Structure 1
Amino acid sequence: NVIHMMLNLSGDALYKRGYRKLCNSTPIKENLAAAIVLNSKWTGESPIVDPMCGSGTLLIEAAMISCDKAPGLNRLKWGFQFWKKHNNNLWQDIYQTAKKRFQIGLKKCHKNYFIGYDYDSEIIKKAKINAFNAGLSTIIQFFIKNLNNLKNIYNKKEIGIILSNPPYGQRKEAENQLVGLYVQLGIVLKKYFENWQLSILSSSNFLLNFLQMQSYQKYILKNGTLNCIQKNYQIFLNNPISENNEYQNRIRKNFKKLKKWTIQEKIECFRLYNADLPNYNIIVDVYKKWIVVQEYKAPKIINCKKAHQRLCNAIYYTKEILSIDINNIILKIRKKNKNNTQYQKLFNKSNFIQIKEYHAKFLVNLTDYLDTGLFLETRLIRKLIGIISKGKDFLNLFSYTGTATVYAGLGEAKSTTSIDMSNTYIQWSMKNMLINNLTSTKHNFIQANCLDWIKKTNKKFDLIFINPPTFSNSKKMNKSFELTRDYLNVIQDLKTILRVNGNIIFSSSKHNFQINLDALNKIKLSAKNITKKTQSKDYMNNSKLYHSWIIKHTR
């Protein structure tokens, strides 16, 4: 048998220096901060600036190193102090020597070399208290400042280092919500801190790419359970923003044209830009005070570096022209859709915002999924459903988040039935109904395979809305669904549950999709194309994107 005997030398963990009584929600440990300072190759003889300083840990650790302050000098208790043979006189000699070294080092320290900025005034208060507790308040300065307003206060001859641990999407914000922050940081540093060094910690290489800089050194570190990387850069001017004005001119033009219209129509969400220019293959949607930028992955023939630079420029100029907060920009990258990947969860932040569309209210989630919970291109279809649903039994198939059902409810439908395979979307639909005060028992929600359900039900409906997927091979389905192959069979099944004077609104976002009218006539149905009538002003230049028909029984 083996017995392990251990002695507690420290008491509390050694990384706890004793000065940090207050901190933000995602602080780094003090020993990690010290490692970051040492890895940055900062010599102590040049300014050190943290543009997102939080509770000040990086600057405090840097100042402690510069002032020759022992890391545990602030600690009041040590584990060894409780040993029976602890030599307190020896310990006091060691402690007093360390204290004197700190006092000497503090006098030699440059008083204007440690500067921290943060946009949050409460966090700055905490940073100042922490610096005071560490005995460093005379040499560290903290200021309330947004990254947009960051400037270099030193003369050109004084070259220093930017040291930072910005958010990287693992705790509070989602990764796709932080792209604008990194783009802005890269642009500001190149503009005002040319020839300075930059050392930055992140767990996301994806976000670091948006700095648009080439690192010369990197270190692998652990921040708690997170695998992180620290990269060192030399900051060069290197044309931080493009001088080509085509994108910003188009954004200004579109925004001017649409802004007045959205106010008049009481619309808070709209499409601002839809790959209008060949060099900028992106989509820009406005959600109240938020911007969602969707990039279509560039084909292999396109220079990836150039495409990435254009994306960064687009993000920067969209923010500038619309005066959007840097944290209110969401980036989503669209690839060729396989297996309904647009419905898969990307993040798990559950950050919902409430928006208005005409007289309806909806909850949208801008970060967690590729789609937001609201298809903007079907806006006028929803409005039409609200107008013609009064007194009718309404069926919403592939109901998604139930936005069409909300309009039917507000339009005083006799009853509504919403069907979707996803429990997540059924629950989302119920929340959308709730915020519109549509809580009656006449509104039904069913989690089921729509295609199986319409074959089995005995119910009849006056108005049916169906916007089927282009393709689906979900495990919850008996067989795959392909729109162009299967749509006629689906319509034929819908015919059996459609009342004599009823209407089917059939919509599709498949490129150049058309209904075979002759085939419809053979099953005694007729269709009227209402695509142009249901095109909203922000989609006028994209007539091939969305198609709609009203289908009726042939008399």
Structure 2
Amino acid sequence: MHAHGITGRSVRSKRRRNTKEPYCFVATCAAGLENLVQEEISLLGGLEPVTAPGAVTWQANSLKTAYLACLWSRFSSRILLRLTQFEAPTPDELYKEASKIDWGRHFNGDTSFAISTTLVNSGPEMNHSHYASLRIKDAIVDQFRRRTGERPDVDVRTPGIRLNLHVEGTAAALSLDLSGESLHRRGYRTGAGEAPLKETLAAAIAYLSGVRVGMSPDTCILDPMCGSATLLIEAALIVGDSAPGLLRDTFGFQHWLGHNEKMWETLVEAAVQREDQHAETPWPMIIGYDADPHVVAAARKNIINAGLGDRITIKQRQLARLHPPTAEGILVTNPPYGERLSEKEAVKYLYRAVGRIFRQHFSGWQLGFFTANPDFADMLGVSWQERHRLYNGPLKCRLLTTALTAASPGASEEFDKGIRLSLQETPQANDQESDPALPAEDFANRLRKNCQRLFPWAEEHNITCFRIYDADIPEYNVAIDVYEQWVHVQEYEPPATVPSEKAEERFNQALQVIRQLLDVPHSQLFVKKRRKQRGNEQYQKRPDTTGKTDGKTGKLYEVREGGNRFLVNFTDYLDTGLFLDHRKTRALLAELADGRTFLNLFAYTGSATVYAAKGGAVSTQTVDLSEKYLVRAQANLSLNGFGGALHQFSEADCLQWLKSCRDQYGVIFVDPPTFSNSRHKNIVFDVQKDHPELLRLAMNLLTHDGVLVFSTNYRKFELDTELEEEFVVREITNQTLPEDFQGKGNIHRCWRFRHHNDEE
């Protein structure tokens, strides 16, 4: 299966070890892998393995266990032969003790060498690792010069012999590095995604997640965010009983005079036979997906280099499209970490998407989830059976594992079903024409009738976020929206002719009716006072809200629409982050975007981008001037299982961005604010004045057969008539107004633009 190139290249041993003392070997490893390494060493025949932080020490009567460790250890970083131990309070003691070793027994004067030093809690005179290495080097060079008149060269990059000095306190240990380069460098990886895993850590993740030799061919090992495919390659090496050392070109012991080449070649031949034996048996499916096509290409190269091109399948696919290829298997993944704020928010909701997809579709599967953000682990919504503390370099990480059965908590979506039932049943329970106990009888009757009409409609069309009242009676000047089990109430600013006391009385009456009629708990009712906005105030954080919110400020709630999920904020801003009147517009965009590139201008929280991605857009570009809303937009995409290089976000003024963009898009959505004024960026936008330039610039980026959808909520808007001569323009306002906004006046207006050569 592999191209084995490690035999026949060794420097033949010129001397034999003549001591009867047992060898002392040390396997170093990353923190958290010590027990796995100890288990390996025991299975390989190591005597009395002793575990310490980052190392396992054992005794042996021959080199065999060390060779086997170099060849077979999946989790070790280096295999060391301990040459001596001594007390070294000063660098001069290092020189003295190193001079006692007969270095001519280990290598010749024409062999280069290098020394790596680790100091742990060493004294004041031993506080510089470079100087400590220098003293060892001096001892070796001086000895060779005295005996032969020549000195070996130091080569820190590709030395023939590597020596390892470890000083803890005053206790020093000097060892010969038998592995040479770190064992995690298997030799197959040429390209890696962001934050690649070391191969040794990847092997540990796969093993601890349940990957074993000879897994059933009816199962599958699946990584939905495979990156460079390191996890899958290491899993395949385990399944195929392949020694990871077979992939390497060189080892450190090949330049060591104590090397037993015959023993090594025998062990390599045995490893090749084991690999060939398992190559003939049926394997489980091993599949990887990634959203980034460039990463997929790099992963495929790594797999071919590992000799596993016929064993591992890699495809470009978004997490949102994930389904189990077999009834049982292991889903193991190392999702993105997220370093910046926007990335961390996106990662947090990516975790929620992973958990939801796993619970919904992967009953009978095991999950191994490796994360550098263990605080986000609860976002997955699964009960973890085991938690392993591991490190990816300096990053403190966790490997979380569990198995999901049909009876597991979270294995079904009954919670979602309950939400829909509560929305349907509560208003219809009060079907009497009037209730004397309720104040504001006219308002109560109108709200009840609206609910009796709209709730069955919403249930029939699987709509859980919709408007049930919008100033239907002028005296009760409020808008009431249902978002799943939450109710969002906005009071419009009363006219100047209405005394403030009277307006406050009516508003309080309306709230009392809402609470009683909808039977909504106080914690699920959010109340705001809507005032006429100046500039972009509607997007600014509100200093407070009307009514108590019990510390709910800043919290994001997850709601559903059109098979997608969105994050809404009921407290901090005038708008929640999801414009309900654009529900049908978003659905239209999803249909148009299938198989096309999509551009979302003035994107707000990216809800249209989510629809386009779900609808099959090959790529999306989301542009908005607000960083905080782009953060939400990225989180919304992640929540739905979309992300990666094909979904780009740009914080920019849309007009300026359009002037500099050179790409073409098959579908463009333009939904600008009526007016915005950014003090910090000196940008003023007026939709009536600026829309001709905006739309012409956008049409320059539209493909010859593309569609642009333009929408505005400015009730007095008039479209520039010259645009209708330059392009094929058709107003589609009526087909984009949802049932719950019918009869509300021009809540928005909407047009469809095409180039003339595509006139229907």
- TM-score per shorter chain, which class? 0.5 to 0.7
Deviations 1:164-207 (A, max 9, x none): xxxxxxxxxxxxxxxxxxxxxxxxxxxxxxxxxxxxxxxxxxxx
The correspondence for 1:270, drawn from 442, 463, 466, is 466
Match of 2:515 in 1: 319
Question: 2:526 matched to 1:330?
Answer: yes
SS at match of 1:367: coil
- Write the letter of the residue equivalent to 2:662: N
Question: 2:730 matched to 1:528?
Answer: yes
Once residues 497 and 404 of structure 1 are traced to their aligned partners in structure 2, the CA distance between those partners, rounded to angstroms, is 18
Question: 2:485 matched to 1:289?
Answer: yes
Deviations 1:14-58 (A, max 9, x none): xxxxxxxxxxxxxxxxxxxxxxxxxxxxxxxxxxxxxxxxxxxxx
The correspondence for 1:253, drawn from 430, 441, 449, is 449
Match of 1:340 in 2: 536
Q: Once the 2 structures are TM-superposed, how far is the Cα of residue 388 of structure 1 from its aligned partner?
A: 1.3
The correspondence for 2:722, drawn from 502, 514, 519, is 519
Runs of 4 or more, structure 1, over 6 Å off, are none
Once residues 467 and 540 of structure 2 are traced to their aligned partners in structure 1, the CA distance between those partners, rounded to angstroms, is 23
SS at match of 1:527: strand
Once residues 243 and 432 of structure 1 are traced to their aligned partners in structure 2, the CA distance between those partners, rounded to angstroms, is 40
Match of 1:481 in 2: 685
Deviations 1:316-368 (A, max 9, x none): 11111111002221111111110211111125932111111121110101111
The correspondence for 1:469, drawn from 663, 673, 678, is 673
Equivalent residues in 2 for 1:88-99 (5 A)? none
Relative to structure 1, the CA distance from residue 442 to residue 277 in structure 2 (aligned partners, 3 Å threshold; closer, same or farther) is: same
Match of 1:440 in 2: 644
Once residues 698 and 500 of structure 2 are traced to their aligned partners in structure 1, the CA distance between those partners, rounded to angstroms, is 46
Q: Are the equivalent residues in 2 in contact too, given 1:265–1:358 (CA < 8 A)?
A: no
SS at match of 1:480: strand
RMSD (CA atoms)? 1.6
Q: Once the 2 structures are TM-superposed, how far is the Cα of residue 478 of structure 1 from its aligned partner?
A: 4.4
Q: Are the equivalent residues in 1 in contact too, given 2:440–2:510 (CA < 8 A)?
A: no
Match of 1:133 in 2: none
Q: Once the 2 structures are TM-superposed, how far is the Cα of residue 475 of structure 1 from its aligned partner?
A: 2.7
Equivalent residues in 2 for 1:414-453 (5 A)? 414-453=618-657
The correspondence for 2:742, drawn from 512, 523, 540, is 540
Deviations 1:133-154 (A, max 9, x none): xxxxxxxxxxxxxxxxxxxxxx
- The number of residue pairs the alignment matches comes to 314
Relative to structure 1, the CA distance from residue 455 to residue 478 in structure 2 (aligned partners, 3 Å threshold; closer, same or farther) is: farther
Match of 2:209 in 1: none
Once residues 315 and 264 of structure 1 are traced to their aligned partners in structure 2, the CA distance between those partners, rounded to angstroms, is 28
Relative to structure 1, the CA distance from residue 311 to residue 521 in structure 2 (aligned partners, 3 Å threshold; closer, same or farther) is: closer
Q: TM-score, normalised by structure 1?
A: 0.55
Q: Are the equivalent residues in 1 in contact too, given 2:439–2:513 (CA < 8 A)?
A: no
Question: 2:683 matched to 1:494?
Answer: no
- Write the letter of the residue equivalent to 2:742: M
Query: Higher mean Cα deviation, 375-384 or 346-355?
Result: 346-355
Q: Are the equivalent residues in 1 in contact too, given 2:623–2:649 (CA < 8 A)?
A: yes
Percent of matched pairs sharing the same residue: 36
Match of 1:504 in 2: 708
Q: Are the equivalent residues in 1 in contact too, given 2:624–2:652 (CA < 8 A)?
A: yes
Once residues 465 and 483 of structure 1 are traced to their aligned partners in structure 2, the CA distance between those partners, rounded to angstroms, is 15
SS at match of 1:346: coil
Larger Rg: 2
Q: Are the equivalent residues in 1 in contact too, given 2:439–2:509 (CA < 8 A)?
A: no
Once residues 243 and 533 of structure 1 are traced to their aligned partners in structure 2, the CA distance between those partners, rounded to angstroms, is 37
Match of 1:127 in 2: none
Q: Are the equivalent residues in 1 in contact too, given 2:667–2:708 (CA < 8 A)?
A: yes
Once residues 495 and 328 of structure 1 are traced to their aligned partners in structure 2, the CA distance between those partners, rounded to angstroms, is 43
Once residues 471 and 599 of structure 2 are traced to their aligned partners in structure 1, the CA distance between those partners, rounded to angstroms, is 34
Q: Are the equivalent residues in 2 in contact too, given 1:521–1:554 (CA < 8 A)?
A: no
Question: 2:563 matched to 1:367?
Answer: no
- Write the letter of the residue equivalent to 2:602: F
- Write the letter of the residue equivalent to 1:340: N
Relative to structure 1, the CA distance from residue 241 to residue 337 in structure 2 (aligned partners, 3 Å threshold; closer, same or farther) is: farther
Match of 1:114 in 2: none
* Structure 2: stretches of 5+ with no match in the other structure: 1-435, 544-551
Once residues 379 and 465 of structure 1 are traced to their aligned partners in structure 2, the CA distance between those partners, rounded to angstroms, is 14
- Write the letter of the residue equivalent to 1:251: L
Once residues 553 and 508 of structure 2 are traced to their aligned partners in structure 1, the CA distance between those partners, rounded to angstroms, is 24
Equivalent residues in 2 for 1:26-45 (5 A)? none
Q: TM-score, normalised by structure 2?
A: 0.40
Once residues 498 and 675 of structure 2 are traced to their aligned partners in structure 1, the CA distance between those partners, rounded to angstroms, is 28
Q: Are the equivalent residues in 2 in contact too, given 1:382–1:407 (CA < 8 A)?
A: yes
- Write the letter of the residue equivalent to 1:247: F
Q: Are the equivalent residues in 2 in contact too, given 1:449–1:477 (CA < 8 A)?
A: no
* Structure 1: stretches of 5+ with no match in the other structure: 1-239
Once residues 243 and 455 of structure 1 are traced to their aligned partners in structure 2, the CA distance between those partners, rounded to angstroms, is 57
Deviations 1:118-141 (A, max 9, x none): xxxxxxxxxxxxxxxxxxxxxxxx
Match of 1:298 in 2: 494
